[in-house]
Amino acid sequence: MKMKLSEIARVVGAEYSVPDSLAPTVTGVAFDTRKLQPGDLFIPLQGERDGHTFISNAEAKGACATFVAADHAPFATRLPQLVVEDPLAALNTLARYYLLMKVNPKVVAITGSNGKTTTKDMTAAILATQYHVIKTQDNYNNEIGVPMTILAMDTNTEVLVVEMGMDRPGQLHELSNLVAPDVAVITMIGEAHIEFFKTRDKIADAKMEITDGLKEDGLFIYNGDEPLLRERAEQVSQEQKTFGLEPENMLYARDIEAGETRTEFSLSRWPDLRFSIPMMGEWNVANALAAILVGRRFHVKPEAIQSALRDFPVTKNRTQWVMGDAGESILSDVYNANPTAMKAVLGDFAKFPCQGRRIAVLGDMLELGEASAALHASVAEALDPDQIQEVYLYGDEIVSLKQALSEKYAPEHVHYFPKAEQRRLIVALQDTVMHDDLVMLKASHGLHLENVLQALIDGTSE
């Protein structure tokens, strides 16, 4: 971005008497002084610590100005300060102005219990064959990350592909109205955040909020294999298209061939084209179908879509294969987890050729609420001792899966470690894993299985 501070003041309703010709030019925004660049406007947000305590750091790092909340004004700083009622609300106001008045790109908004990051990456890769595209980076998918993504756009951006997460009702309503998408996508409904929503029906209701800001001439794309979405889509007046693995969808996949690092499939629409993605799993084929529908909305040719999907950049730690210190192959999926995703990954993992043993290392799936014990236990459906010989369970919630597996596995093949004993888990794995084994790691990010992964790669236990 590149805006005069005086213009920003007018946008957010702050007093600033310096004329445009003398006002400093803001070249970015930052709420984390560790990432602040000279010329940035600092946004002091309220988190575990009050962001105003970092204004002096922002000044030292070269910020050109700062927002200050009204209840903190006047603030002792040499930086020009724009006094606003709420810095986060002012950030959103500024982002919406910049989006609509300075850039005005087409907007693709993507949400879902699983697959939203992968679908975002696939969609951006497809659209980048024809347009200048900006997409959500890292985990910037909430009420802070979305406006930050908007304000990071170049003024020549033609399409913004924005990922939207949620953990409470109303969150997607606000984000959708902020970006006013031309295309809204829901990848799937799972059990993520069921602790807060109690039922999948309520999760579906909350996901549907992504359509609240959808433009009148916009397009709603959703997973038609999910009855909860089909029911709710009847209330959406805009054009709709469905994708999935069932032939009732407008776009569906067939002849799927899944490998360890690549999956191929054909489509109902272009039977002569064979598509390939650098990822494992049928669920990732569904994500590709959503991205393909977005691409066709923007008139990207099928052959260009085929080429873009073949080698699109995959976000780290999402079903990524790495080599361990003992020579074992490790399937790392340590970024997030819920029961639907865990069962799907286990189903594919059980099919991969293996000269030694298949070893599953599974950790707690968080935010499952009162249903946590039953949902963890349900993962036993996807575990078969003839296919996955050893199971290592880590965490406090997953103990119910240990109990469920006692009906299928001999006790010596199920290994349980409480959350406080990660180092003991690492040592146990290093003592048993051999060069011809396949190892799978999956848990919610709060379990920090990335530490276990790194220890298996490096051969260390510290």
Dig out the tokens for 292 from the structure.
């393909």
Strand partners, 410: none
CA distance 439 to 397: 21
On the 0-12 / 13-18 / 19+ scale of CB atoms within 10 A, 192 is buried
On the 0-12 / 13-18 / 19+ scale of CB atoms within 10 A, 367 is middle
The amino acid at residue 451 is N
The amino acid at residue 270 is W
What are the strands of the beta sheet with 81-84, ordered from one edge? Answer: 28-30, 40-42, 65-69, 81-84
Q: What is the DSSP letter of 98?
A: I
Coil, strand or helix: which one is 212?
Answer: coil
CA distance 219 to 247: 21
What kind and span of H or E run contains 67?
Answer: strand 65-69
Instruction: Give binding residues as ranges.
Output: 112-118
Strand partners, 358: 438
CA distance 406 to 414: 8
Cis, bond preceding 74 (omega within 30 deg of 0): yes
CA distance 291 to 126: 7
Coil, strand or helix: which one is 260?
Answer: coil
Instruction: Give binding residues for ATP as ranges.
Output: 112-118
Residue in 341, 299, 280 with CA at minimum distance from that of residue 116: 341
Residue in 149, 148, 107 with CA at minimum distance from that of residue 131: 107
The amino acid at residue 387 is Q
Residue 216, φ and ψ in degrees, nearest 5? -60, -35
CA distance 231 to 224: 10
CA distance 113 to 186: 9
CA distance 119 to 105: 19
CA distance 440 to 377: 18
